[in-house]
Amino acid sequence: MPIYKTITVSPTTNVYIWKVTEPEAELGKNVALTPHCQDRMDGMKSEDHRRAFLSIRHLLALAGYSDFDLVYDDFGKPHLRDGNFISITHSHNFTGVIISETDEVGIDIEMQRDKILRIAHKFTPIEEYRTLANTEAIIRKLTIVWGAKESLYKIYAQQGLSFLQHINVIDFSFEETRTVAEITYHGKKSHYGVEFLEFEGFTCVYALKMMGG
């Protein structure tokens, strides 16, 4: 069972990351899906997507939940029936879940790729990164910023929210492995704590809404 990593963010918040290596049949053992999720999985043409989908159900089980505890709102945002907060992510052969009893949370896993250099201007003021030593460092930093904005977007879950115009990630160093970010939208400001880690050419970023923020 390749649970790749678990992170205790706080006494009430945990991150679970899975590295998908097993065949679909093995991942499907002992996993019961709701009719809605069974339909979703049946509609997936890619076996890799189905394996990732099933691995997330194993992560839920590690946290004490099943697929039947999960509901999705009209925006596609997942919720837990017991009122705890959850966010889910999938990138290639890694999947991740963050669950919190106390805080609104978001998580994102991204593969570090040079493609991000071409789209950076769409989600962040690229001039901020010109001082970095080399292209690899710029790719790493942009991937963290993208992951942070994706995580905040998942928490906020409102149509029309712009990565470039409404979400600001405060600059950080790689060594700190954390930063803060804010969303300014329709005249309202909200603040978030952001943490990140890198592994096997991937970046995982997770965010928690700050109390009173």
Angle between helices 35-42 and 47-62 (to 10 degrees): 150
Residues 25 and 98 occupy one common structural domain? yes
Residues 87 and 124 occupy one common structural domain? no
Last residue of a domain, one of 102, 137, 164: 102
Residues 80 and 114 occupy one common structural domain? no
Residues 20 and 94 occupy one common structural domain? yes
Residues 8 and 43 occupy one common structural domain? yes
Global pTM reads 0.94
Q: Which residues contact 32 (CB under 8 A, 6 or more apart)?
A: 66, 67, 68
Residues 76 and 133 occupy one common structural domain? no
Range of the structural domain that residue 127 is part of: 108-209
Structure-token pair, residue 83: 């009122």
Residues 50 and 68 occupy one common structural domain? yes
pLDDT computed for residue 157 by the predictor: 83
3-state DSSP assignment of residue 107:
strand
Q: Identify the burial level of 4 via C-beta atoms within 10 angstroms of its C-beta, where 0-12 means exposed, 13-18 middle and 19 or more buried.
A: middle
Residues 172 and 152 occupy one common structural domain? yes
- For residues 211 and 202, what is the distance between their CA atoms, to the nearest angstrom? 29
- For residues 82 and 74, what is the distance between their CA atoms, to the nearest angstrom? 19
Residues 129 and 174 occupy one common structural domain? yes
Residues 95 and 127 occupy one common structural domain? no
Residues 199 and 115 occupy one common structural domain? yes
- For residues 132 and 47, what is the distance between their CA atoms, to the nearest angstrom? 39
CATH number at residue 29: 3.90.470.20
The per-residue DSSP string of 158-211 comes to: -TT--HHHHEEEPP--GGG-EEEEEEEETTEEEEEEEEEEEETTEEEEEEEEPT
Q: Identify the burial level of 142 via C-beta atoms within 10 angstroms of its C-beta, where 0-12 means exposed, 13-18 middle and 19 or more buried.
A: buried
Q: How many domains would you assign to the chain?
A: 2
The one-digit pLDDT tens for each residue of the chain (213 residues) are 579 999 999 999 999 999 999 999 999 998 999 998 999 999 999 999 999 999 999 999 999 999 999 998 888 899 999 999 999 999 999 999 999 999 999 999 999 999 999 999 899 886 766 666 688 989 999 999 999 999 999 999 888 899 989 999 998 999 999 999 999 998 899 999 999 999 999 999 999 998 765
User: Among positive and negative, which fits the CA dihedral 84, 92, 160, 192?
Assistant: positive
Last residue of a domain, one of 102, 133, 166: 102
Last residue of a domain, one of 102, 121, 142: 102
Residues 72 and 115 occupy one common structural domain? no
